[in-house]
């Protein structure tokens, strides 16, 4: 419910600040295209941008999901006393399935060993919670404001679909960066399980795990460059820098830093929240939103990412290996943040 309230607030502000402005005016489809040209553009624009494989996303299906999300999220906001909790994953389940198929096609490699390693955590059944793509798709729905004035027949739908596919590409890029970071983390932590199965470094060795992570980052970079948006490229490139910075902070903590909440939160932002916050901002930028709305999207992703990691760290103490899908107390074994028990008690 809190996810919906946050997204609803951003959506309301985006509609206010977007009055009289649009994300469409510079698009070539608006340069007096004929009805037939508009129809052709509607067919071509549904191809996924930034991906080697093109998949069609039908307009009825897209409108159906958009209507379902707006309808159900509005119901939650209007009926704050309702005890029913909506499942955000179910709202974009069909779209997540399309993203999963597309991701599997994007990580194909020429060398069989590398292909097996790269697709290891994208195979059906081990895709993980897909928390980040879900948040980004819901953010996109909250920010994609419909065009108020009439356009050529089919042009508005074509442009809305093209925007959605570009935002889907951000979700795919984010997931590839996330999985790449998991592969590298497992090598650094000498982990033997991940998502309920043997970690890639445990199954195929450290060297191949590192190379698979590098390969995923390279594929993410190719998809990112294809969006041809310098600001978005800069945001996601910064995320990779933050991942490295955060991991280094975790590996090199002093005894004083282990007891510092500020240090812990900064490290947590770099390692987890930066990816979600900058990806949310990228979604807003692609939608043509104002700087104010982009900052709100960033802050939403940052706070959600920090909260997510705080709970995950608490579960490292309270959960079991079976429930977590990875070894519990792994951070303690590496003498990382021995003060986390104190922090957890303060938070809870």
- Last residue of a domain, which of 200, 227, 254? 227
H-helix or E-strand containing 194?
strand 193-194
- Last residue of a domain, which of 181, 200, 227? 227
| DSSP β-bridge partners for residue 198 | 193
On whether both 192 and 102 belong to a single domain, the answer is yes
**Does the predicted TM-score (pTM) go above 0.75?**
no
Tens digits of residue pLDDT in 98-109: 999 999 999 999
On whether both 243 and 305 belong to a single domain, the answer is yes
On whether both 164 and 219 belong to a single domain, the answer is yes
On whether both 141 and 213 belong to a single domain, the answer is yes
Q: Would you say residue 75 lies in a domain?
A: no
Q: How far is CA 119 from the centre of its chain?
A: 18
Half-sphere exposure of 223 (CA within 13 A, CB side): 31
On whether both 219 and 253 belong to a single domain, the answer is no
Q: Would you say residue 137 lies in a domain?
A: yes
Domain extent at residue 214: 88-146+153-227
Per-residue model confidence as pLDDT tens for the chain (348 residues):
556 566 666 766 666 665 434 444 334 333 333 334 334 333 433 333 344 343 334 444 445 545 554 554 454 444 444 445 678 888 899 999 999 999 999 999 999 999 999 999 998 777 788 899 999 999 999 998 654 555 565 666 677 889 999 999 999 999 999 999 999 999 998 998 898 889 999 999 999 999 999 999 999 999 999 999 999 999 999 999 999 999 999 999 998 998 999 999 999 999 999 999 999 999 999 999 999 999 999 999 999 999 999 998 888 777 665 555 555 444 444 433 333 444 444 444
On whether both 213 and 241 belong to a single domain, the answer is no
H-helix or E-strand containing 78?
helix 59-78
Total domains, the chain: 2
On whether both 275 and 337 belong to a single domain, the answer is yes
On whether both 201 and 134 belong to a single domain, the answer is yes
- Last residue of a domain, which of 173, 197, 227? 227
Q: Would you say residue 21 lies in a domain?
A: no
On whether both 120 and 187 belong to a single domain, the answer is yes
On whether both 192 and 290 belong to a single domain, the answer is no
Q: Which two structure tokens, joined as six digits, stand for 265? A: 């939160």
Contact predicate 180/210, CB 8 Å: no
Lookup result for tokens 């809190």:
2
Distance CA 209, CA 250 (A): 20
Contact predicate 155/173, CB 8 Å: no
Please give the DSSP secondary-structure letter assigned to residue 318: H
Q: What is the CATH number of the domain that holds 330?
A: 1.10.600.10
Residue 6's contacts (CB-CB under 8 Å, 6 or more residues apart) are 300, 304
On whether both 112 and 182 belong to a single domain, the answer is yes
Residue positions counted in the chain = 348
């Amino acid at each position: 419910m809190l996810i919906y309230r946050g997204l609803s607030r951003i959506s309301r502000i985006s509609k206010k600040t977007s009055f009289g402005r649009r994300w469409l005016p510079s698009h070539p489809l608006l340069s007096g295209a004929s009805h037939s040209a508009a129809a052709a553009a509607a067919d071509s624009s549904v191809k996924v941008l930034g991906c080697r494989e093109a998949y069609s996303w039908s307009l009825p299906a897209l409108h159906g999901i958009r209507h379902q999300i707006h309808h159900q999220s509005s119901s939650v906001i209007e009926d704050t006393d309702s005890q029913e909790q909506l499942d955000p994953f179910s709202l974009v389940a069909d779209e997540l399935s399309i993203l999963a198929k597309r991701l599997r096609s994007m990580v194909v490699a020429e060398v069989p060993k590398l292909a097996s390693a790269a697709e290891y955590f994208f195979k059906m059944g081990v895709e993980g919670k897909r928390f980040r793509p879900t948040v980004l798709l819901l953010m996109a729905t909250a920010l994609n404001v419909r065009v108020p004035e009439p356009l050529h027949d089919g042009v508005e739908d074509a442009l809305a679909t093209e925007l959605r596919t570009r935002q889907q590409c951000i979700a795919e890029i984010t997931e590839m960066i996330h999985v790449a970071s998991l592969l590298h983390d497992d090598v650094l932590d000498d982990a033997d399980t991940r998502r309920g199965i043997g970690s890639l470094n445990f199954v195929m060795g450290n060297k191949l795990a590192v190379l698979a992570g590098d390969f995923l980052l390279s594929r993410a970079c190719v998809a990112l460059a294809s969006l041809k948006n310098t600001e978005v490229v800069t945001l996601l490139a910064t995320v990779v820098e933050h991942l490295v910075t955060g991991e280094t902070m975790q590996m090199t903590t002093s005894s004083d830093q282990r007891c510092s909440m500020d240090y812990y939160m900064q490290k947590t932002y770099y390692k987890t929240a930066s990816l979600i916050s900058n990806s949310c901002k990228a979604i807003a930028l692609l939608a043509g939103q104002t700087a104010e709305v982009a900052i709100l999207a960033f802050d939403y992703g940052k706070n959600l990412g920090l909260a997510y990691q705080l709970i995950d760290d608490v579960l490292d103490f309270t959960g079991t290996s079976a429930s977590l899908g990875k070894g519990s107390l792994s951070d303690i074994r590496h003498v990382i943040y021995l003060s986390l028990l104190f922090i957890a008690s303060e938070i809870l």
